Amino acid sequence: MKRTIIFAHYDKDNIIDDYVVDYLKALRPLASELIFVSDSDLLASEVSKLDIDKAIVGKHGEYDFGSYKRGFEIMNDADQLIFCNDSCYLVGNLEPLLESNNDFFAAITNTNDYAPHLQSYFVVFNRKVIESSVFKNFMSSITKLDNKKDIIEKYEVGMTQTLSKAGFSFSSFVPEIFKNNPTMTEDYFAKLRPAGFPFLKTDLLKNNPAQTMNVCRWKNGLSASQIGQIETHISRMIGNDRKHWHLTKFQAFLQRKTILDCFFSYKKKKGVLRVRILGIPVLKKNLN
């Protein structure tokens, strides 16, 4: 099988970290063509660390999908295409993620108040999709968007929905469809890691955005060299503060909820505002 892998990279300090080098080493045996695209102004000495076939380097400001687009424009003919990026540490075996009979597939499907969609840090497309006009048109339509919500809605959610509506089948390595991003919550430890999920998201360690308790469990089952490599990267990103790795259940609750949140909540979805007080719906208003 001819397989092209396009790896999207960004680094605020314009370097290629060791965990990225090792991730690409793991990808190398799986790829007939390995394309590295960086949204950073890297020196040639950094790119020389990598065993790759093609590289595109330079700030473009279109985030991961802009890098995927640029790689897609220069790729050779392939039976299978993989998009992946540096938002994850690779901590397990990738090959089980490639075992699917669907037209395109990924590691995780979730909703996060959108339509069900594949998360875009590791997505596989078979030839049927690669050669389709709908996929080519989607890729060529990618432009710069500054709002992260717009990027998720138009490109991550949009890609799954566009291909699905065109009749292509999709699936994910973890079959459950999650309401929230499971790589940032207790589901990561309770469901993903036991299932052999091979990734650890960098943002879980940098920010712990869902205020998950006892995140320091990420080290369980990893080798000393893996832990050291990840710790080195995290130290460069956020310094030595690790308080958000050690939240107790009560601390996690307090950081997720203000006193007001316990009494009042609202949600805007598809142009409709819903308001609850003490969990009871009190208002539903169409904002369009």
3-class DSSP state of 152: helix
For 98-112, 197-211, 254-268, which range has the lowest pLDDT when averaged over its residues? 254-268
Which of 193, 171, 167, 191 shows the shortest CA–CA distance to 119? Answer: 171
d(C-alpha 44, C-alpha 190), whole Å: 42
Percent of the chain with pLDDT over 90: 81
CA 277 to chain centre: 34
Instruction: Output the average pLDDT for the chain.
Output: 91
d(C-alpha 287, C-alpha 268), whole Å: 9
- Domains, the chain, ranges and CATH? 3-178 (3.90.550.10), 182-257 (no CATH), 258-288 (no CATH)
Predicted confidence (pLDDT) at residue 98 exceeds the cutoff of 50: yes
Which of 81, 51, 58 shows the shortest CA–CA distance to 68? Answer: 81
d(C-alpha 181, C-alpha 184), whole Å: 6
79/148: higher pLDDT: 79
Residue 7 C-beta-side C-alpha neighbours within 13 Å: 27
Predicted confidence (pLDDT) at residue 282 exceeds the cutoff of 90: no
d(C-alpha 52, C-alpha 55), whole Å: 7
d(C-alpha 191, C-alpha 142), whole Å: 33
pLDDT at 264: 61
Task: Quick: pLDDT tens for 223-271.
Answer: 999 999 999 999 999 999 999 999 876 655 555 544 445 566 666 665 6
Residues 6+ apart with CB under 8 A from 157: 114, 115, 117
Which of 54, 45, 53, 85 shows the shortest CA–CA distance to 68? Answer: 85
Which of 234, 242, 247, 117 shows the shortest CA–CA distance to 186? Answer: 247
- Token digits for 103? 């037209």
Question: Which whole number is the average pLDDT over 54-68?
Answer: 97
Q: Are 182 and 108 in contact (CB under 8 A)?
A: yes
Q: Are 119 and 107 in contact (CB under 8 A)?
A: yes
pLDDT at 16: 98
Which of 45, 89, 35 shows the shortest CA–CA distance to 67? Answer: 35
Predicted confidence (pLDDT) at residue 288 exceeds the cutoff of 60: no
pLDDT at 113: 80
Predicted confidence (pLDDT) at residue 80 exceeds the cutoff of 70: yes
Residues 6+ apart with CB under 8 A from 44: none
d(C-alpha 282, C-alpha 102), whole Å: 43
Band the pLDDT of 174: cuts 50, 70, 90: very high
Predicted confidence (pLDDT) at residue 47 exceeds the cutoff of 80: yes
pLDDT at 93: 96
Residues 6+ apart with CB under 8 A from 68: 6, 8, 37, 83, 139, 142
Which of 145, 122, 119, 131 shows the shortest CA–CA distance to 66? Answer: 145
